[in-house]
Structure 1
Amino acid sequence: MCRRVRAVLASMLLLVTVVACTGDERAPAAPGTFSVALGEPASLLPAEITDLPGRLVADAVWTPLTAPGDGQGAEPEPLAAESITSTDQRSWTIRLRAGMRFHDGTPVTAQAYVDTWEAAEREGWAGATVLTETLRAEKFRATGERTIELVLERPLGQVPLILGSTALLPLPPSAVAARDWAGFARHPVGNGPYRLAEDWRPGAGARLTRFEGYRGPRPGTAREIGLRVAADAAEQYELARTGEVDLATEVPGDQHHRMAEDFGDRVLMWPLPELTMLGVPAGDERFADAASRHAIALAIDRAALEEGPLGHQVDLASALLPPAMPLGHRSGTCRPCNHDPRAAQALWEQAGKPAPELAVHFAEGTGQESWVRPLAEQLGDMLGSTARPSPVPAAEYRELLERGTADGLFVLSHVLRTRSPHELLAPLRSGAGSNRTGYASEGFDQMMAEAGGAAELGTSGELYRLAENQLLRDLPVIPLWSRHGHAVWGERLGGVTASPNLAIDLAAIDVPS
């Protein structure tokens, strides 16, 4: 009898061991927690963040000054700000919300913002361009514990929208004083609903825990969020499909068709602040006739590239301004956004077939060659020219753009740091230091001045659309596409939406408590 009991117990132990090893049963997630798969952030220093994983973390750890309003022309929603006001669209007063604290317990003050913005300019962080180029800030200073005075070089009614940028998030005084930026990026301290419970571990991730001292809007729902770095989008998808994580923030192109089958309606697609255009140098006489530029635009089969090398990760351009801009849809069509071989060939002949040989320059090591090569083949086939991809080392490519000396077309990939159309259009004004095309138009400059000076966002949006229309006629840049994101999640979660800075709003996700 004893031997029989021991045999049964041994069999049960073996069964438990097999189940544990094969992973057929997993311990249920703790109440009030969920897990997320994401890529490795390039940086967690706010003014250096450009990628989706970085924005995902920043949107949980920080609360921005504002968020875009709900609907076309809607006023931005104050978040860390209590109010943002101006009488002339040039001098602005930013009043901070009372009671906000950093995760180290120190109060969030006007001086903290000012010191952070000064550090961004001093250190040359990439996001400083929001201050120096988009806002064109003449000065900013703290005029009280919770009040910032911001003065611009010229009127700009888009300020409340621009102030929501990740690049303008505040750092605590201890971080600014220490200047250990690498150390801070390993364990950022923000003013948001979640705090990092440990240092960020490259290749692994970290845990976010709810900040109990948070007194701002949109507090977090979950008690704890596990962030797990995956090698690529394919691994993310598999982790979510098998239930090893609750949410994946990327979907590979070859699984695009399976999302509904694997996850039902637990799928989110949203616009990312990333777009790609072709630049046409104004100084290249071969393209002086607008017909030649329109011929090039109409010769590109964007849909074939989207289905092929781009792996269903982009939205084909239907305008110059991408869906990430809260402007609503265009009332008219974008003719040069279409693929029309017959019109392309007719316009190319009308322009005198100006370029028997055509180079398409792009930066090496950016993953662009996979689609630049077939795009060049399309141009060659459609226009009867010899078109070739021209890879340029990244450092040299930046210099080529800054000098404006490209002898052919060049790829312009832009990661937007704000949700304002001003950021994308202003660099095309005459004499703008960031104008890579050499485009100059008094009419466009006047439209931009009127759009910038408009006090109402609805009015300025209409004026920016008019400026966009002129660019679509003159075509100094050729719109190609903008990226969109995919997220998929398990049955435990609800309320998965995009955040104001176009990541996933982790704080808004519903999870069983």
Structure 2
Amino acid sequence: MRIKRAIAVVSVGFVAVGMLAACGSDTAAGNSEGTYSLYIGQPENPLVPGNTTESEGNQVLKALFTPLVNYNDDTNDVEYTGVAESVESEDQVNWTIKLKSGWTFHDGTPVTAKSYVDAWNYTALSTNAYGASYFFENVNGYDDLQAAEGGEPAATTMSGLEAVDDTTISVQLKEPFAIYPITLGYSAFMPLPEAFFSDPEGFGRRPIGNGPFKADEDFVDGQGFTVTKYEDYAGENAAKSDGVQFKVYTELATGYTDVQAGGLDVMLDLPPDAFATARDQFGDRYVERPRPDITSLSFPTYDPRFSDPRVREAFSMAIDRGAITKAIFTDTRTPAKSFGSPVVEGYRADACGAKCELNVEQANKLLDEAGFDRSQPIDLWFNAGAGHDPWMTAVGNQIRTNLGIEYMLRGDLQFAQYLPLQDAKGMTGPFRFAWIMDYPSLYNFLAPIYSTSALPPAGSNNTFYSNPEFDAALSAGNNADSLEAATVEYQKAEDILFRDMPSAPLFYGLNQAVYSDRVTNVNIDAFGDIVVEDVTVN
């Protein structure tokens, strides 16, 4: 899942930036005594699970929907504490998903197998252009739902999906997929009620889910909305508060000022000047957890200047990751030398090797061999309002010093504008790309970002990298007869990525949250989100 949440601290010697601009906000922390407020950025799209592939919208959907499966908070193992009773297969191609009975949507209609099959078909259909379409690419019949731009698909439903009865879903995949049950906790696999199909646009403003909270009002862009406790929730972890007010901010600094003043109850991640003081200032009202993510400097492989792997490797070797994580982030980030997160199965601490180490001599040699034109500056892209200016400036300064290339910062677009431009091949130079796991597997850090099937709009392959050898290695992992054997093949696919370097891994993050004295029991889950149903209003 593409994320916005990554922030930086200004450091003398690297950059100097002005104060972040403030914006107006409400002063009331909640709408009632039992309601608390939570910071989010503006979601990219309307709040439909199949088209929400970024962190801000996902935080909202976690309040409104409950997935098929959940994950152990410590081990990341699949737990059947969601809607699914079991997910079983004898050949890893034909899967049977059994649902628990008694689940309802917020409009009172039952959650059935058809609720999932209809939702998945709608998400997969290319004419709907949903960003999570790729997650159904391995289902038999998916290809029939894909059509060239302006064309009509051969079918509107996948032949590999069937609602056998109200509580049984039959899934036939194109090939074996050993980790299929692990994927089902992701939001793309959420159900949709009948009401969605009669008014998808209205649903996006006021979603009808099956989760611990329900939406009683429309989401307002730039402001947010309040969701309330769903009294008929069938899950194991019912909401401990009366509701959550999701408050949209464009600047981290403004949200932090509000939580300091009591005008905001919970804020996940901190603005640039808060790292050194937040622990002491908030004391027991400060919580942190390693973030299962990666931030990379990605390359527009469609741009002739960055189409040569030697150029991309040279830029990677011109960056001193350790210096940036220490001086800019005060060691709240860890240098990355893998495309995967340290928390997932298959992670290798030094998969990148020398290509992710500073080596100015070799970097310049590679640029010369590729005939790169150093006389023209490069654009460095990142989204505005999230404190990326300092570290992207540090990257630019290192490129200028180590490679003799001038740079221009392109950080004037808000997150909801930045992501569509990536999808439209709008990056005119290296760009900040961040990803947080959708489910705990190395595969999730490879396939949705770099496979050919994940090219926009079906997925999040914003580098537009495509290599049949890489795709074949992923397929070999999917065909493996065990999770362990699959992981070995996924690691081979990762090695191909390091050969081609469509992105340069930079660092892994740390989630940090602070909260007001109005609330307690504020927890960060394994995916880096606030567990909204756990929060208790004092």
Q: Which amino acid aligns with 1:185?
A: G
Name which of 319, 335, 355 aligns with 2:353: 335
Q: How many Å separate the matches in 1 of 2:207 and 2:37?
A: 20
8 Å CA contact 2:356–2:505 kept in 1: the answer is no
1:449 aligns with 2:475: yes
- State which structure, 1 or 2, has the greater radius of gyration over its C-alpha atoms: 1
Task: Name the SS for the 1:117 alignment partner.
Answer: helix
**1:168 maps to amino acid:** F
CA distance in 2, matches of 1:102, 1:126: 23
Q: 1:57 aligns with which of 46, 60, 67?
A: 60
Partner residue in 1 for 2:493: 467
For 1:426, the aligned partner's letter is A
Find the counterpart in structure 1 of residue 341 from structure 2: 322
- Range 201-210 or range 305-314, more displaced: 305-314
**Residue in 2 that maps onto 1:124:** 129
Q: RMSD between aligned alpha carbons?
A: 4.1
CA distance in structure 2 between the partners assigned to 1:331 and 1:227 by the alignment: 37
Query: Which position in structure 2 is the counterpart of 1:192?
Result: 211
Q: Does 1:41 align with 2:43?
A: yes
Counterpart amino acid of residue 203 in structure 2 = F
Instruction: Note if 1:99 corresponds to 2:102.
Output: yes
Give SS of 2:474's match. helix
Q: Tell me, yes or no, if the aligned pair for 1:295 and 1:347 is still in contact at 8 Å.
A: yes
In structure 2, runs of 5+ residues without a counterpart are 1-27, 143-157, 456-460
Task: Name the CA distance, whole Å, in 2 between partners of 1:382 and 1:275.
Answer: 21
**How far does the alpha carbon of each residue in 1:302-354 deviate from its partner, in whole angstroms, 9 at most, with x for none?**
3555578889986542311135x6337535464346442xx331454377543
Residues in 2 aligned to 1:208 and 1:272: alpha-carbon distance in whole angstroms: 27
Q: CA deviation at 1:422?
A: 2.4
User: Partner residue of 1:355?
Assistant: 371
Deviation at 1:189, TM superposition (A): 1.0
CA distance in 1, matches of 2:434, 2:140: 18
- Is 1:380–1:386's contact at 8 Å kept on the other side of the alignment? yes
**Cα shift at 1:360:** 4.4
Report the Cα offset of residue 505 of structure 1.
0.9
- Over 3 Å counting, the alpha-carbon distance change for 1:136 and 1:64 in structure 2 is farther
Aligned partners of 1:294 and 1:336 also within 8 Å: no
The answer to whether the Cα contact below 8 Å between 1:50 and 1:417 also exists between their aligned partners in 2 is no
The residue type equivalent to 1:125 in the other structure is: Y
Structure 1 residue identity aligned to 2:345 = L
Q: Which of 168, 171, 179 is the aligned partner of 1:158?
A: 179
CA distance in 2, matches of 1:232, 1:313: 20
Q: 1:246 to 1:94 in 2, by over 3 A?
A: same
Of the three residues 418, 422, 428, the one matched with 2:438 is: 418
Aligned residues: 474
The answer as to 2:506 corresponding to 1:480 is: yes
Which structure shows the higher helix fraction?
1
Deviations 1:416-449 (A, max 9, x none): 673243244236888657375656474x555423
TM-score (norm 1): 0.77
Partner of 1:297: 316
Q: CA deviation at 1:144?
A: 0.9
Cα distance between partner residues in 2 of 1:493 and 1:329: 36
| 2:137 aligned partner, one-letter code | T
Deviations 1:170-198 (A, max 9, x none): 2211221x1x2232122211001111233
Q: In 2 relative to 1, CA 141–203 (structure 1 residues): closer, same or farther, beyond 3 Å?
A: same
% of aligned pairs identical? 26
CA, structure 1 residues 496+228, in 2 after alignment: closer, same or farther (shift >3 Å)?
same
Equivalent residues of 2:448, 2:454 under 8 A apart: yes
Query: What is the CA-CA distance between 1:227 and the residue it aligns to?
Result: 3.1
Question: Counterpart amino acid of 2:528?
Answer: L
Please list, as runs of the form range in 1=range in 2, the aligned pairs for 1:375-394 lying within 5 A after superposition. 375-383=395-403, 385-389=404-408
Matched, 1:147 2:147: no
Q: Which amino acid aligns with 1:154?
A: E
Report what 2:152 is aligned to.
none
**Gap change, CA 1:100 and 1:295, over 3 Å in 2:** same
- The Cα of 1:99 is off from its aligned counterpart by 0.7
CA contact (8 A) 2:66 2:212 kept: yes
- Look up the match of 1:183: 202
Give the conservation status (yes or no) of the 8 Å contact 2:382–2:432.
no
Decide which of 210, 213, 219 is 2:238's aligned counterpart: 219
Structure-2 change in CA distance of 1:28 and 1:162 (3 Å): closer
Cα deviations by residue, 1:373-399 (Å, 9 ceiling, x for unpaired): 65344224213x435459799778645
Q: 1:446 to 1:413 in 2, by over 3 A?
A: same
Distance 1:192 1:429, change over 3 A: closer
- Distance of aligned partners of 1:364 and 1:204 in 2 relative to their CA distance in 1, 3 Å threshold: closer
Q: Letter of the 2:188 partner, please give it.
A: A
**Which letter maps to 2:208?**
V
CA contact (8 A) 1:309 1:371 kept: yes
Provide Cα deviations, 1:449-492, integer angstroms capped at 9, x if missing partner.
33222354455345423432443355343222455543211345
Amino acid at match of 2:87: I
Alpha-carbon contact 2:298-2:432 (below 8 Å) kept: yes
Q: Equivalent residue for 2:515?
A: 489
Question: Can you list the C-alpha shifts for 1:484-507, whole angstroms capped at 9, x where unaligned?
Answer: 543211345333223465321111
Q: Distance in 2 between matches of 1:456 and 1:160?
A: 13
Letter in 2 for 1:36: L
Distance 1:202 1:150, change over 3 A: same
Q: TM-score, normalised by structure 2?
A: 0.74
User: What are the Cα deviations for residues 187-235 of structure 1, in whole angstroms up to 9, with x where unaligned?
Assistant: 2110011112333344443332221111123222223333333453222
| Unmatched runs of 5 consecutive residues or more in structure 1 | 1-25
Change in 2 beyond 3 A, CA 1:68/1:344: farther
Deviation at 1:288, TM superposition (A): 6.1
Partner amino acid for 1:263?
F
Whole-angstrom CA distance in 1 between matches of 2:255 and 2:465: 42
Give distance in 2, aligned partners of 1:67 and 1:115: 22
8 Å Cα contact 1:276/1:482 also seen in 2: no
Q: CA 1:285–1:133 in 2, change beyond 3 Å: closer, same or farther?
A: farther
